[in-house]
């Protein structure tokens, strides 16, 4: 084939594919597509009050019963489409070219505009590679001992006083996050980072008014202080040129990573944000569910004790290693079932970057789209008797795309292996060495923003053996 004919052929194929893509991804211009069913509520306010004046999940399930698995609404000043079918959620989360992540501007300012969550394309892919490098199994295998020592210390400090489980677990998951970010360097800066980070989080859900005295202003100041600490750690590392670091900061600072100091700081703050409250909430729910299900607790305790006994019998080194954590099928199923029942991230947000046709409906450009993870996890079509806490259901793999506690697509959680590891390690020590009893109301749920047992599950922890 002549060169010009070939170029002509390639160019026309390219345009043909573009046209084909447009045809399938955008609404046909020739006919008007309907919006999904649903109600938009009051002008501007929409249905925000209806959604937040009750458990948001009641709001969603009532709507699903009335309108089906895809419906429209209007919350927090934005028109949106909510979706509760696993296929639709997969579609939205995997079509990154049609649906981009979206957050309120004040949250972006607080976490840092360069943080991974807010981006797409090459910059996002580069960040993901750098994060994954330090939290994939190959890398976290080497920090099991360090995580274990943080877990042992965390549980010891809870004894003999009433504790708020969530707060204690937040300290644990914060310390594990710092370990994976700064390696051993973190110990020196742990308290300062903790103080700043706690001020930052108080401002996260406050009114974004940046004047002296407001929580938002304090949070922005704390953010600056964190940036200064990170800058100090980076300067020290740059002085010691010859040393190499296997932690997240090392990965971000590598020459090949091509990140500026500002990008590094934004992403460190972002990773702590993503890693801490999520894992601490799930652990809190596990403690609650184990307390309510004595036979499950018994099975987990026996599994964990058998690991200790086997190591003693074989004269193996005391303490957990990576291989031990792979011999915890029952405990792993408890984690999976807790992720499903508690669904701490009830939903996430995306925004349509152009008009999209989905199942005969129009999702207009600029509208928010909310995949409702919790409703997918609680649908009887996906999980039999969905309200029941039953870890044995995970003896069989769930139907494809019906279980997405760590999301789906290019923004799915890169930290899921680290999260599971730190939960297994803590549960090993909790069940083999402690008993506990919940104090006060055992049933309420609060959202802040993650679903959490009421008041963070106050309890007393007792050592099993003196
Ligand atoms: C049980 C604990 C955790 C749960 C349930 C969880 C859940 C999730 C979910 C659902 C997403 C996707 C959100 C979306 O698509 O909008 C996500 C993203 C993310 N998670 Fe996790 N996560 C957990 C722990 C962690 C940990 C320990 C880390 C530490 C590395 C981490 C780091 C991240 C990051 C950096 C992202 C953003 C990824 C991106 O935008 O590409 N998470 N997480």
DSSP state of 82: E
Is 171 found in the same domain as 128? yes
Q: What pLDDT does residue 16 have?
A: 46
**With a 6 A CB cut-off, is 333 part of the ligand 1 pocket?**
no
30 pLDDT exceeds 50? no
pLDDT-wise least confident of 8-12, 34-38, 278-282: 8-12
Instruction: Indicate whether 25 belongs to any domain.
Output: no
Compute the C-alpha angle 105/107/112, nearest 5°. 95
The CA distances from residue 8 to 16, 22, 231, 273, 455, in Å, are 12, 21, 54, 51, 68
Ligand 1 centre distance from Cα of residue 405 (Å): 9
279 pLDDT exceeds 70? yes
In terms of pLDDT, which residue wins out, 444 or 153? 153
* Average pLDDT estimate for 279-300: 97
pLDDT confidence band for 12 (50 / 70 / 90) = low
Is 349 found in the same domain as 333? no
Is 140 found in the same domain as 97? no
What's the burial of 98, exposed, middle or buried (CB within 10 Å: 0-12/13-18/19+)? buried
Question: Which residue CA neighbors atom 27 of ligand 1 most closely?
Answer: 275
pLDDT, averaged across the chain = 90
pLDDT-wise least confident of 171-185, 218-232, 382-396, 443-457: 443-457
Q: What pLDDT does residue 379 have?
A: 94
**Enclosing domain of residue 261:** 121-340+407-466
* Average pLDDT estimate for 64-93: 93
Instruction: Indicate whether 1 belongs to any domain.
Output: no
Is 157 found in the same domain as 268? yes
**With a 6 A CB cut-off, is 282 part of the ligand 1 pocket?**
yes
* Binding site as annotated, residues for heme: 413
Q: What pLDDT does residue 419 have?
A: 98
Q: What pLDDT does residue 22 have?
A: 45
pLDDT-wise least confident of 74-78, 147-151, 198-202: 74-78
pLDDT confidence band for 19 (50 / 70 / 90) = very low
Q: What pLDDT does residue 174 have?
A: 96
Helix (H) or strand (E) holding 377: helix 373-377
pLDDT-wise least confident of 22-31, 81-90, 107-116, 392-401: 22-31
Alpha-carbon span 40 to 32, nearest angstrom: 19
Among 448, 407, 414, residue whose Cα is nearest residue 116: 414
Sequential DSSP letters for 407-463? --GGGS-TTHHHHHHHHHHHHHHHHHHEEEEE-S-SS-EEESSSEEEGGG-EEEEEE
Span 132-190, pLDDT tens digits: 999 999 999 999 999 999 999 999 999 888 999 999 999 999 999 999 999 987 788 98
Rg for the chain, CA atoms, rounded:
24
**With a 6 A CB cut-off, is 371 part of the ligand 1 pocket?**
no
pLDDT confidence band for 5 (50 / 70 / 90) = low
Among 85, 54, 88, 60, residue whose Cα is nearest residue 73: 60
CATH at 102: 3.30.43.20
Alpha-carbon span 371 to 80, nearest angstrom: 11
Asked if 375 and 84 count as a contact pair (C-beta separation under 8 A), the reply is: yes
Is 309 found in the same domain as 222? yes
In terms of pLDDT, which residue wins out, 262 or 440? 262
Instruction: Indicate whether 390 belongs to any domain.
Output: no
Give pTM, 2 decimals: 0.91
Is 282 found in the same domain as 242? yes
Long-range pairs for 113-117: beta carbons < 8 A, 24 or more residues apart: 113/266, 114/260, 114/262, 114/263, 114/266, 114/267, 115/266, 115/267, 115/269, 115/270, 116/267, 116/270, 116/271, 117/270, 117/274, 117/411
Q: What pLDDT does residue 271 have?
A: 96
410 pLDDT exceeds 90? yes
Q: What pLDDT does residue 3 have?
A: 47
* Average pLDDT estimate for 206-231: 91
Ligand 1 centre distance from Cα of residue 271 (Å): 8
* Average pLDDT estimate for 80-100: 95
25 pLDDT exceeds 90? no
In ligand 1, the atom with minimum distance to the C-alpha of 101 is 16
Tell me which residue has tokens 């403690």: 287
Alpha-carbon span 204 to 112, nearest angstrom: 12
Helix (H) or strand (E) holding 370: strand 368-371
Is 65 found in the same domain as 101? yes
Instruction: Indicate whether 268 belongs to any domain.
Output: yes
* Average pLDDT estimate for 421-425: 98
Percentage of the residues of the chain whose pLDDT score is greater than 90: 74
Helices (H) and strands (E) in the chain, counts: 18, 12
Q: What pLDDT does residue 15 have?
A: 46
Is 137 found in the same domain as 194? yes
Tell me which residue has tokens 């980070």: 197
Is 355 found in the same domain as 295? no
449 pLDDT exceeds 80? no
Alpha helices for 73-120 (secondary structure H): 86-94, 105-111
Asked if 375 and 366 count as a contact pair (C-beta separation under 8 A), the reply is: no
CA 371 from chain center: how many Å?
14
Q: What pLDDT does residue 1 have?
A: 47
Q: Which of 355, 377, 399 is the last residue of a domain?
A: 377
**With a 6 A CB cut-off, is 418 part of the ligand 1 pocket?**
yes
Is 218 found in the same domain as 100? no
**With a 6 A CB cut-off, is 274 part of the ligand 1 pocket?**
yes
**With a 6 A CB cut-off, is 348 part of the ligand 1 pocket?**
yes
**With a 6 A CB cut-off, is 269 part of the ligand 1 pocket?**
no
Domains in the chain, number: 2
Alpha-carbon span 275 to 293, nearest angstrom: 27
Q: What pLDDT does residue 187 have?
A: 80
* Binding site as annotated, residues: 413
448 pLDDT exceeds 80? no
Q: What pLDDT does residue 231 have?
A: 95
Alpha-carbon span 353 to 301, nearest angstrom: 49
Instruction: Indicate whether 48 belongs to any domain.
Output: yes
Instruction: Indicate whether 10 belongs to any domain.
Output: no
Asked if 73 and 368 count as a contact pair (C-beta separation under 8 A), the reply is: no
**With a 6 A CB cut-off, is 128 part of the ligand 1 pocket?**
yes
Is 330 found in the same domain as 230? yes
β-strand pairing of 451-453 with 458-463: unpaired
* Six-digit token string for 147: 């995580």
CATH at 453: 1.10.630.10
Q: What pLDDT does residue 28 have?
A: 47
Query: What is the best residue among 135, 175, 276, 278 to mutate for testing ligand 1's pocket, by most ligand atoms within 8 Å of CB?
Result: 278
CB atoms within 10 A of CB 33: 16
31 pLDDT exceeds 90? no
pLDDT confidence band for 24 (50 / 70 / 90) = very low
pLDDT-wise least confident of 15-29, 30-44, 46-60, 334-348: 15-29
Is 226 found in the same domain as 305? yes
* Six-digit token string for 381: 């079509």
């Amino acid at each position: 084939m002549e060169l010009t004919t070939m170029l002509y052929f390639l160019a026309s194929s390219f345009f043909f594919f573009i046209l084909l893509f447009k045809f399938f991804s955008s609404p046909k211009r020739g006919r008007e597509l309907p919006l999904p069913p649903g109600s938009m509520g009051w002008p501007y306010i929409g249905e925000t009050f209806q959604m937040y004046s009750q458990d948001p999940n009641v709001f969603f399930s009532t709507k699903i019963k009335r309108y089906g698995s895809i419906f429209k609404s209007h919350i927090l000043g934005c028109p949106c489409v909510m979706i509760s079918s696993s296929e639709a959620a997969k579609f939205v989360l995997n079509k990154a070219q049609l649906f981009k992540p979206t957050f309120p501007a004040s949250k972006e300012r607080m976490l840092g505009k360069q943080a991974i969550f807010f981006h797409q394309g090459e910059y996002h892919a580069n960040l993901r590679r750098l994060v994954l490098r330090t939290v994939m199994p190959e890398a976290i295998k080497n920090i099991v001992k360090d995580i274990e020592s943080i877990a042992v210390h965390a549980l010891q400090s809870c004894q003999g006083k009433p504790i708020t489980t969530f707060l204690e677990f937040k300290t644990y998951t914060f310390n594990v996050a710092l370990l994976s970010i700064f390696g051993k360097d973190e110990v020196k800066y742990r308290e300062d980072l903790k103080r700043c980070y706690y001020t930052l989080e108080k401002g996260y859900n406050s009114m974004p008014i940046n004047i002296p005295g407001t929580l938002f202003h304090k949070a922005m100041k704390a953010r600056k202080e964190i940036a200064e600490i990170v800058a100090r750690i980076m300067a020290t590392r740059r002085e010691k040129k010859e040393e190499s670091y296997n932690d997240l900061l090392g990965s971000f600072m590598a020459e090949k990573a091509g990140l500026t100091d500002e990008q590094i700081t934004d992403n460190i703050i972002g990773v702590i944000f993503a890693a801490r409250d999520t894992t601490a909430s799930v652990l809190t729910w596990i403690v609650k569910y184990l307390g309510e299900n004595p036979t499950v607790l018994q099975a987990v305790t026996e599994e964990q004790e058998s690991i200790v006994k086997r190591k003693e019998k074989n004269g193996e080194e005391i303490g957990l290693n990576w291989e031990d954590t792979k011999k915890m099928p029952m405990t792993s199923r408890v984690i999976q079932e807790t992720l499903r029942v508690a669904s701490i991230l009830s939903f996430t947000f995306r925004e349509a970057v152009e008009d999209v046709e989905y199942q005969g409906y129009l999702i207009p450009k600029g509208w928010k789209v909310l995949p409702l993870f919790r409703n997918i996890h609680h649908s009887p079509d996906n999980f039999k008797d969905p309200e029941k806490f039953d870890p044995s259901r995970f003896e069989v793999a769930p139907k494809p795309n019906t279980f997405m506690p760590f999301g789906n697509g290019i923004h799915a959680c890169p930290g899921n292996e680290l999260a599971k590891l730190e939960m297994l390690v803590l549960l090993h020590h909790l069940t083999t060495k402690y008993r506990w009893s919940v104090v006060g109301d055992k049933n309420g749920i609060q959202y802040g923003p993650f679903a959490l047992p009421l008041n963070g599950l106050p309890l007393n922890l007792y050592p099993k053996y003196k």
